[in-house]
Structure 1
């Protein structure tokens, strides 16, 4: 990997792990019932979102960049209404993220600019990685919002960091 690719790869890996940590904080607050509760008929539960994130990361990184067979059943991610507890959902997501990180970390530089098919699209490796990081961040925000809504609680996701401090 070239020295110019390293900051992008490092930042991507950072945000993949960062979002998974925030999801863990939410799951620690939510009950099993709340994980599978849908706010309305047109919304997904946290459980659906975790299945969806796992499927998306597998399809885009493991298949798109890593060459693993695409066995995704996207509709099942949204139709599920339980049957997997939050510990197992989190385990599956973290295992998938860790597999994706291994692929990203070891990706040859030329794969960042090579176009390849993924889902119904054709994109280069940089786009694929950026899509996955952005997609995970988007749904992590939804999970955080849902947790705060249900629990009416500050999740202290930044710990004791003074976010009003300027450098």
Structure 2
């Protein structure tokens, strides 16, 4: 493996670690919500947990699976936000898991050249690495929204880092 390939592998390992971390957080939130709470919106300018899952599925599909994986772009973005139900928690979880699995397969199968190539996605031109960074930062952003909304609905600490001393100093 060349130095460039090693560098890309390190980047991808870090990005996939963060996706896995956020996936666990999202699944914990979904597990805590009832079927009815899944589609509750804080207000009309905000999205329900169900909408956020549909939106993440759409975004990951468009960026990672379609653009990076060079498949047809079938995303219907407006539906991700206008949907007011129609999916059970299990159906949403299954859809979400399927999208994540397919995206992971695409990410793990790209070549060095594909990571450095440019892709047009959602009107932007990004490198393969740029797409992966976008997917992870977008994923983390909406994970925070899901966590905040779950805390609001349930009035509990989600305990994402239970058992980890987050006060440990860097040199310890």
Query: Per-residue deviation at 1:153?
Result: 0.4
Q: Is the 8 A contact 1:52 1:78 kept in 2?
A: yes
Alignment-derived partner of residue 75 in structure 2: 72
Q: Give SS of 1:3's match.
A: helix
Alignment-derived partner of residue 161 in structure 2: 158
Equivalences for residues 57-136 of structure 1 within 5 A: 57-136=60-139
1:81-139 deviation digits (Å, cap 9, x = unpaired)? 00101121111112111111111111101112211111111111111000000000000
Q: Is the 8 A contact 1:38 1:45 kept in 2?
A: yes
The answer to whether 1:35 aligns with 2:38 is yes
Calculate the TM-score normalised by the size of structure 1: 0.96
Query: Per-residue deviation at 1:18?
Result: 1.2
Q: Among 9, 14, 32, which residue is 1:6 paired with?
A: 9
1:18-73 deviation digits (Å, cap 9, x = unpaired)? 11110111011111111100110111111001000000000000011101211111
Query: Per-residue deviation at 1:12?
Result: 1.0
| Contiguous gaps of at least 5 residues in structure 2 | none
The answer to whether 1:144 aligns with 2:164 is no
Structure 1 outlier segments of 4+, above 6 Å: none
Which whole-Å CA distance do the structure 2 matches of 1:25 and 1:100 have between them? 21
Q: Give SS of 1:5's match.
A: helix
Which whole-Å CA distance do the structure 1 matches of 2:86 and 2:125 have between them? 34
The answer to whether 1:21 aligns with 2:24 is yes
**How many corresponding residue pairs?**
167
CA RMSD of aligned residues (A): 1.0
Which whole-Å CA distance do the structure 1 matches of 2:7 and 2:124 have between them? 26
Q: Give SS of 1:155's match.
A: coil
Q: Is the 8 A contact 1:20 1:94 kept in 2?
A: no
